[in-house]
A and B are shown apart, each in its own frame.
Chain A
């Protein structure tokens, strides 16, 4: 079942075309890695799918609903490369607020598991505002996974993470795909490519490869 569908999705800034008429579908349970050089359009695509950017033309839907609609927001989880957190809430309060806004049931157990996995259980009462970049990224990951979703979009998940954090991220992504979530990860990390079933490559906003991840020559795909 298709849960993410982009149809002639285009984003331009005057003469500069960030994404050019992209057609893409992702099914439930599929693990897709999105590769491309800097400025190739990966983040633009993810942000349009998350409803944070308006397409210049074309459309993108999440589980049949237009990106950015209330229904799409309920089904989608977007993890940006730059963690965005509140200054005045501790880790647990962040989790509670997010889970309750999404109407998640039984979030407490899931939250504890995630904090344990991410090594944040000892920092549960601390303010993420005082954390290092890596710990903030881990908090952001815990917030993302504390509630249910059908589509997971992740932009450069390894930024600022230590080795154990990276391993946890990979486990969480695998776990999500196994649970039937469509996972789309923008990354240059070969480890993620090797764990994905499908690779999509962009160059200057255009789709240049869409096929099996193990058959992709990633290094040549990310060349400018």
Chain B
């Protein structure tokens, strides 16, 4: 019957539309790969650098794999990764049908989907790697695809196993933490002991291939098989909760509503504020105190995520300094996502305009005040990144100097981007003048609305790129790296200030535009009559 329903749904799809979507996806994929490849540059790294990659890369990639598997284990603790329709939970899973039969097709689809996505990401990474590292191009692409697909399947398998076998909380998380800790030990000691470090070596097999590295990949596939065999035990309670939230989340994604996606993800993760705060805040302006009180109730999971994002941003920025410019996007996006948590109090006021409009303070002013705490929190996040970048070395003194300048700029830009995202996610922020624009323009505006907040956050790391250019410049009149970073940092901060002014005065601007349109409409009506 499910097959029949699916057949009906498929019959509803307009094949021209489907082909057009596939065509667009293909074009975007090809253009992305071409752009990333061009951006990464085609110069082969020095032999010493290639040796360093071969020596340090496996443990770092193993750490990445450990984090991904841990995310899978945590997802399983919350009933993931399957997203079942609410009606299926009520009617199919409550029917006298074996659950593994009912859930089998959904699990297969999920495994296929993650394997495809992981493999695609691996291919893109392999495409970037063979331009700079020694080894055959096909080998890099195959190794990337194998690493990405097996890791993604391992992620889903870990989640299905924990969920289906009712592994008690926090046992799954503890296993994940142990795996991450093991990988960290490997990174720090330069010795491969964790199986996931050997798995990381598989991704670098075009440099040197070891048969033993295939074993962890096979273990991840076995984990997926175990997960698939366990799906019959998936909890109905969590399935029902996920069904409602995932449906809403997909709808929010179609509306490009980042704020709602974030809130629903928190609900999905059952990430509730702590009933007892970590610390007390009693002094300061009302909004400042309110916002720090919110931060003081961050659950452990959110703190860990923000710290991890800070570390990722720092490591990526360090890699940008070392010459891998495309990682500026990773650094900026990591800070952007961390800042989305920091602007939570602003988001809550936007979610409930009733509350904000009941206080005798201009809404824009109230919203702007929220950003001071967000900036302070994001500075702390950035400090974790700075410490990470300095720890990675070398040139620690110079890294600290350039990093200090970048920290302020990147934190400001991330908060500006996150505030922009929260505000533009709010339907009330979309002016009525949009209705007067042609559909072609609306498409571009929608894309811009989605892209500009992240772009501003990424711009926060431009000082690193400019400082590196100054550092490698042979021109004797070139500024010092710190001077170069500061100069461009000031320009980025001007953009941040502009976003701040927009937060403060956007209602006035919208009212002015609305009045102007009404006036224009009235005068057009008068002249036509």
Contacts and interface: CB of A to CB of B under 8 A. Distances in A.
A86 B273 CA distance: 11
A101 B275 CA distance: 24
B360 to A, nearest CB: 4
Size class of the A contact interface (CB-based, 8 Å): 20 to 34
Nearest to B361: A101
A215 B355 CA distance: 37
Given A86-B348, A88-B344, A97-B286, A127 B275 contact: yes
Contacts of B344: 88
A80 B273 contact: no
B18 interface: no
Interface residues of B, number: 24
A88 B294 contact: yes
B288 to A, nearest CB: 11
Contact of B359 (A93, A98, A127): A98
A90 B497 CA distance: 33
Nearest to B347: A87
Interface in B415-455: none
Contacts of A93: 290, 293
A88 B293 contact: yes
Interface string B255-291: 0000000000000000011011000000000110110
Contact of A78 (B275, B345, B358): B358
B362 interface: yes
B523 interface: no
Nearest to B296: A88
A130 B275 CA distance: 9
A73 interface: yes
A126 interface: yes
Given A84-B352, A87-B348, A89-B293, A101 B359 contact: yes
A71 interface: yes
A52 B275 contact: no
Contacts of B132: none
Contact of B357 (A71, A73, A103, A125): A73
Nearest to A99: B286
Contacts, number: 70
Contact of B273 (A50, A74, A87, A97): A87
Contact of A73 (B289, B297, B352, B359): B359
A89 B290 contact: yes
Given A87-B348, A97-B290, A52 B359 contact: no
Contact of B360 (A52, A71, A125, A126): A71
A89 B276 CA distance: 10
Given A52-B354, A84-B354, A97-B286, A102 B297 contact: no
A102 B273 contact: no
A29 interface: no
A84 B357 CA distance: 12
Nearest to A71: B360
Contacts of B362: 70
Contacts of B355: 84, 86
A101 B361 CA distance: 8
Contacts of A68: 357
Interface centre among B287, B354, B358, B359 (most CB of A within 10 A): B358
B354 A80 contact: yes
A125 B297 CA distance: 12
Contacts of A84: 352, 354-355
A142 B85 CA distance: 40
B358 A73 contact: yes
A110 interface: no
A84 B294 CA distance: 16
A52 B286 contact: no
Contacts of A130: 272, 275
A100 interface: yes
Interface centre among B273, B287, B345, B353 (most CB of A within 10 A): B273
Nearest to A73: B360
A36 interface: no
Nearest to B281: A93
A50 B272 CA distance: 31
Given A88-B297, A127-B273, A101 B357 contact: no
Interface string A49-64: 0111000000000000
B35 to A, nearest CB: 40
Contacts of B293: 88-89, 93
A207 interface: no
B348 A52 contact: no
B294 A102 contact: no
A88 B353 CA distance: 17
A129 interface: yes
A160 to B, nearest CB: 17
Interface centre among A93, A129, A130 (most CB of B within 10 A): A93
A27 B357 CA distance: 24
Contacts of A100: 286, 289
Interface in B230-275: 272-273, 275
Nearest to B351: A84
Contacts of A89: 290, 293-294
Interface string B2-45: 00000000000000000000000000000000000000000000
For the complex of A and B, 10 pairs with smallest distance between CB atoms: A100-B286, A74-B360, A88-B294, A88-B273, A101-B359, A84-B352, A73-B360, A97-B290, A70-B360, A88-B297
Given A50-B358, A102-B359, A130-B272, 8 more contacts: A68-B357, A78-B354, A86-B345, A87-B272, A89-B290, A89-B293, A103-B360, A125-B275
19 contacts: A52-B353, A52-B354, A68-B357, A70-B361, A73-B359, A77-B358, A84-B354, A87-B273, A88-B273, A88-B293, A89-B294, A96-B286, A102-B359, A103-B360, A126-B275, A127-B273, A127-B297, A129-B272, A129-B273
Interface of B: 272-273, 275-276, 286-287, 289-290, 293-294, 297, 344-345, 348, 352-355, 357-362
Interface of A: 50-52, 68, 70-71, 73-74, 76-78, 80, 84, 86-90, 93, 96-98, 100-103, 125-127, 129-130
